[in-house]
């Protein structure tokens, strides 16, 4: 890749895995900017970028709404080399095919896509797994390999949703997604809250404001876990609310509970301040 090329990587993250992935790729490419998908897509178009990347976590077997909406509205150079890196724990599902479809609507296409298995962060359902000690070095090494392939403009055919995912999706996810924005009704804040405002600054949906010293949720949640992961005093807890049980009561929702004692996870190399920057350059 020529040094003079313009390289732009857009990322979305809740707990830092995808931001770390974007950083590793940007460092390897050089002369690259990484931009958070929390920004307004009209303010950060990539019409003159020669290399464009999208780095995001998999939610609900596909792209999360914020990523979908951002890319839908983003202007890009259709002739750019376009790549995607997903971070996930198990099921990549429809993500790459949905992304490719969005790109096709802009006259472009997805040329390279990589899944990076990472630590599962949905701690309102389960304790984070597997252990950081084993997984972080593996992620770093797989990211370096992917960065090298991107540097060499490798192309590949992306993985698509498997048969089981296609069979199960219509019977599970739509109901769950119908309550997603209001999932934050289950958050509560304990006495250990110090009103520092970190939760509100790291939220990629601007869903949290501090009212009378206490985090208040506006029901536009993406369930990304940033607030619980980065709270310095573990003050944010979760219990699936009774009123939502009347709307949706499944095997999954019955397990939605975050006791104070449970370990929270965020990527060890990514601090809360990193999530607040929105743009970073790597020369």
Q: Which residues bind ligand FMN (CB under 6 A)?
A: 13-18, 57-61, 87-91, 93, 118-122, 223-225, 267
Shortest Å distance, C-beta 146 to ligand FMN:
14
Of 6 and 68, the one with the shorter C-beta distance to ligand FMN is 68
Of 1 and 39, the one with the shorter C-beta distance to ligand FMN is 39
- Residue among 120, 123, 142, 115 nearest 131 (CA): 120
Of 78 and 117, the one with the shorter C-beta distance to ligand FMN is 117
Shortest Å distance, C-beta 2 to ligand FMN:
30
DSSP state of 263: P
Number of Cα atoms under 13 Å in the Cβ half of residue 79: 3
Q: What are phi and psi of 84, to 5 degrees?
A: -135, 145
Residue 123, both tokens? 């701690």
Number of Cα atoms under 13 Å in the Cβ half of residue 262: 21
Of 123 and 189, the one with the shorter C-beta distance to ligand FMN is 123
Alpha helix (H) residue ranges in the chain: 17-29, 65-73, 95-104, 132-151, 163-178, 198-202, 226-230, 242-247, 272-275
Q: Which residues in 124-143 are b (16+ Cβ under 10 Å) and which e?
A: beeebeeeeeebbeebeebb
Shortest Å distance, C-beta 113 to ligand FMN:
15
Shortest Å distance, C-beta 168 to ligand FMN:
11
Let me know the angle formed at the C-alpha of 212 by 209 and 213, rounded to the nearest 5 degrees: 75
Of 108 and 267, the one with the shorter C-beta distance to ligand FMN is 267
Of 91 and 210, the one with the shorter C-beta distance to ligand FMN is 91
- CA 195 to the chain's CA centroid: 25
91 near 57, Cβ under 8 Å? Answer: no
Q: Which residue has the tokens 């990322």?
A: 11
176 near 60, Cβ under 8 Å? Answer: yes
Of 57 and 186, the one with the shorter C-beta distance to ligand FMN is 57
Residue 82, both tokens? 């376009």
Shortest Å distance, C-beta 250 to ligand FMN:
15
Of 49 and 121, the one with the shorter C-beta distance to ligand FMN is 121
Shortest Å distance, C-beta 147 to ligand FMN:
17
Shortest Å distance, C-beta 267 to ligand FMN:
6
Number of Cα atoms under 13 Å in the Cβ half of residue 119: 28
Shortest Å distance, C-beta 132 to ligand FMN:
12
């Amino acid at each position: 890749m020529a040094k003079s090329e313009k390289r732009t990587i857009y990322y979305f993250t809740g707990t830092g895995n995808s931001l770390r992935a974007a950083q590793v790729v940007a460092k390897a490419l050089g002369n690259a900017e990484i931009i958070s998908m929390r920004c307004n897509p009209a303010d950060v178009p990539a019409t003159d970028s020669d290399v464009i990347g999208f780095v995001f976590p998999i939610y609900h077997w596909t792209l999360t709404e914020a990523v979908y909406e951002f890319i839908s509205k983003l202007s890009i150079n259709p002739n750019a080399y376009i790549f995607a890196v997903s971070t996930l724990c198990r099921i990549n599902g429809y993500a790459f095919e949905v992304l490719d479809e969005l790109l096709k609507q802009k006259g472009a296409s997805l040329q390279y896509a990589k899944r990076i298995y990472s630590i599962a962060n949905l701690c309102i359902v389960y304790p984070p797994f597997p252990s950081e000690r084993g997984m972080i070095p593996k992620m770093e090494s797989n990211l370096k390999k992917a960065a090298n392939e991107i540097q060499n403009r490798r192309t590949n055919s992306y993985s698509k949703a498997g048969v089981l995912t296609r069979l199960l999706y219509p019977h599970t996810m739509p109901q769950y997604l119908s309550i997603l924005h209001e999932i934050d009704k289950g958050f509560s804040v304990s006495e250990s809250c110090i009103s520092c405002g970190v939760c509100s600054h790291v939220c990629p949906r601007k869903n949290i404001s501090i009212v009378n010293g206490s985090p208040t949720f506006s029901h536009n949640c993406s369930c990304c876990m940033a607030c619980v992961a980065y709270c310095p005093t573990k003050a944010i807890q979760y219990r699936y609310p009774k009123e939502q049980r009347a709307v949706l009561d499944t095997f999954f929702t019955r397990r939605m509970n975050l006791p104070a004692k449970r370990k929270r996870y965020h990527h060890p190399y990514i601090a809360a301040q990193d999530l607040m920057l929105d743009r970073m350059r790597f020369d």
